[in-house]
A and B are shown apart, each in its own frame.
Chain A
Amino acid sequence: MQVPILKQGPYLIATIQSALTDADIVQLRDALVEQVGRYRSLGVIIDVTALDVMDSFATGTLQDVAHMVRLRGAETVIVGIQPDVAFAMVQMGLNLEGVATTLDLEEGLAYLSRSTKLARSR
């Protein structure tokens, strides 16, 4: 199940719509890192509202995305982690350290408008 990536102005928005296999997550990582360059994007939003499990692999790979995207000069924000998913992550000891998160897509867009190069150049 491929994750659709929407180009919205200077941002890329990836909305996960169903459970993903490890290969799907790796494919999403590679697509985002590539498209940040192709579209000269300043920010990436990954919407995980529909994910009912964020295990060590998903968390680790999303953390990799954020770090790789930063190395490409853009910012990443993970949005929509559900309450019970957050609880399971904390129990596991997974914390997405160094990765921006917001409650939902709206907050994610607001975060990027404050924190990307676009905001700093204004």
Chain B
Amino acid sequence: MKPPVDVAGETRVPVARDSDIVKARMHGRAMAMQLGFPVTSATLIATAISELARNIVLYAGAGEISLSPIENGTRRGLMVVASDSGPGIADPAQSMRDGFSTSGRLGLGLPGVRRLMDEFDLRSQAGEGTCVTVKKWNG
């Protein structure tokens, strides 16, 4: 699934192998610091990106992490869009339950990401890919 719109100041990181997971979260942390987020929030953002990028590598093989500065009135924030055209998620509601995993690991990926960020949106259709959009507001 393609990310919805182009945003000014966007950084796009192609994700296909596990070194890209590290690259994506480093870019995310750098952008968060640049936008004035405190270190603690930058770490939450970097951790969320790590989980989203790993899902791309594990389940879709390849995709993209897009990072963008966002604004809402006086508030500034950072938006992360993780998109791929992989097999998609058959049951998105089930994938949001703690402890559910199809990969045999902890199964905390998506519910964990939702708790790290302020806004969370999961769009997926079997055979069509997956697009996860998350936002963190500063302040």
Contact = CB atoms under 8 A, between A and B. Distances in A.
B97 interface: no
A88 B43 contact: yes
A21 B18 contact: yes
Interface string A50-90: 00111111011000000000000000000000011101100
A92 interface: yes
22 contacts: A19-B26, A21-B18, A21-B21, A22-B18, A22-B54, A23-B18, A54-B47, A55-B50, A56-B106, A56-B108, A57-B50, A59-B106, A83-B40, A84-B42, A84-B43, A87-B40, A88-B116, A91-B112, A91-B116, A92-B47, A93-B108, A94-B108
Interface of A: 19-23, 52-57, 59-60, 83-85, 87-88, 91-94
Given A53-B43, A84-B39, 10 more contacts: A21-B21, A53-B25, A53-B47, A55-B50, A56-B112, A59-B106, A88-B47, A91-B44, A92-B51, A93-B108
